[in-house]
Amino acid sequence: MQDLEIYVRDLDPARLTIWLEANFDQLLVPLTPFGNKPGLYKGEGRYGDHLVRISVYAEAFGKRFSSVVLEGKELPWTTDLDCARSAWRTLETEIRCSQGEWQEGDPVQEEKWWRLDSRGEQLVVWN
């Protein structure tokens, strides 16, 4: 199971849907509020012969960033950075993602994240 996660600044749900539809063979279940948890949206897509679970956590990292998590046996991208690059081209807003080296238990304060925006791609400390 592959698991990719990106963080989108000031997420526009309509643009996110356009990006998902462009990159998956089919958007089976559009993003809809999930249960009674405010800010949690779930959906499903198909890529090749595989189901992809889509989760969006609004305001996941401060008030401005939403987490977009894609889980499936096969995805259009192999890394968080590849996914972030694709999202940035469509969403035209700042995208952040892990550089892939963080492990559970590592200190977060010095962790570097990829930031993709109009200035390019840079490794930055989140705050």
pTM to 2 decimal places: 0.90
77 CA to centre of own chain: 11
Residue 126 forms part of a structural domain: no
Q: How many distinct structural domains can be found in the chain?
A: 1
- Which residues have C-beta within 8 Å of that of residue 103, sequence separation ≥ 6? none
Within 2-77, residue ranges assigned H as helices are 13-23
DSSP 8-state symbol, 123: E
Residue 109 forms part of a structural domain: no
Closest CA to 4 of 21, 25, 20, 22: 20
Residue 125 forms part of a structural domain: no
Helix axis angle, 80-91 to 13-23, nearest 10°: 120
Residue 28 forms part of a structural domain: yes
Residue 89 forms part of a structural domain: yes
Residue 66 forms part of a structural domain: yes
Q: What confidence score (pLDDT) does residue 105 get?
A: 63
DSSP H or E segment with residue 90: helix 80-91
For residue 83, give the CATH number of its domain: 3.30.310
- Count CB neighbours of 27 within 10 A: 18
Q: What is the pLDDT along the chain (127 residues), one digit of tens a residue?
A: 999 999 999 999 899 999 999 999 999 999 998 877 788 999 999 999 999 999 999 988 778 999 999 999 999 999 999 999 999 999 999 999 998 755 556 665 567 899 999 999 999 998 7
Closest CA to 31 of 2, 70, 73: 70
Q: Could you list the residue range(s) of the whole structural domain that residue 83 is in?
A: 2-93
Provide φ and ψ at 41, rounded to 5°: -125, 140
Q: What confidence score (pLDDT) does residue 103 get?
A: 57
Q: What confidence score (pLDDT) does residue 100 get?
A: 77
